[in-house]
Amino acid sequence: MTFTLKQLAATSGGELIGDPSLQITGAASLAEATPGEISFFGNRKYIGQLRKTRASAVFVPPDFAESIATAQIRVANPIKVFEQIVLKFAPKPITFVPGVHASAVVDPSVDLGERVSIQPYAVIEAGARIGDDTIIGAGSYIGHETVIGSACLIYPRVTIRERSRIGSRVIIHSGVVIGADGFGFEMVDGRHEKIPQLGIVQIDDDVEIGANTTVDRARFGRTWIQQGVKIDNLVQIAHNVVIGKNSVIAAQTGISGSTRVGERVMMGGQVGIVGHIEIGDNTAIGAQSGISKNISGGTWWASPAVPLAEAKRQIAWIHRLGKLFARVKEIEKKLGLHVL
């Protein structure tokens, strides 16, 4: 598909500086773009890439003042506009025909909504309910009495165990396991004895869960992922954890049992959180931080985590230790003391 710069400027509502008849055949990042493609610039740290880009045109902010030969379309939000333009060049999305594939195993008691698509070798156990327009990918397993809402996309090889509750417009990527037993044992007569895990997992509307993430069922009650939460790949969420609305969790994070995470919390990659604590609303946790106590609001980093400003001071102190040690040795020499 090809567009002229005039067409792209009109579509984006931007101000064009350059040849309106210039043909654009694709979109790419500043570093990867080639002639005939359009890119975007919205962050000053990429000014070097902008000056070197081979793109034929670039979306830039309204106050852009850099002198470049590349054609420009000035828009209020270059990143967002670029995302919309990329969709115009993208291939058509994959679609799935409604119906149950002949190789799928669906118990006769399952309640299927309108236009549901069950892909090859999926298994749906007795008493499950699947909402309208939902897609169950190839090889996925839906356990007994599980409820899945409308317009969900369950990718291939997802496991959703018995009695789980999934809302509408939920996206679950391949390899995810929902409702595995929580990690619960107690010592009896010198050996570990399993504690029955009798609760469920509840996932509310508009949640997305990345590949190979695990969400354990509750010991009793529910493990609860609330509306709008976005979870990356390879995240572990233990039994009875609650994740508040619109929180974001990056890859390789682990959240121990019965922890409550507030709304709009952001966690970087490889964060580790002990059990039975609370993370307050609007808290940001930096990558590889360890959280060992209740925290609330602001940005936290390090292990054990402290407020970001304090973490930066501690790092600065550590970096100065070498110079401090050298100064102490020099003073000891002058005083005739034993030198380490």
The DSSP call for residue 53 is: -
Q: Helix-strand-coil percent breakdown of the chain, rounded to 5?
A: 15, 30, 55
Q: Tell me the one-letter amino acid at 247.
A: S
Provide the β-strand partners of residue 215.
178, 237
| Among the listed residues 26, 11, 12, the one whose alpha carbon sits nearest the alpha carbon of residue 78 | 12
CB 45 within 8 A of CB 59: no
Cis peptide preceding 304, ω within 30 of 0? yes
Mind giving me the DSSP string for 131-165? Answer: -TT-EE-TT-EE-TT-EE-TT-EE-TT-EE-TT-E
Among the listed residues 239, 276, 319, 338, the single catalytic one is 239
Catalytic (active site) residue 192: no
CB 88 within 8 A of CB 105: no
Residues designated catalytic? 239
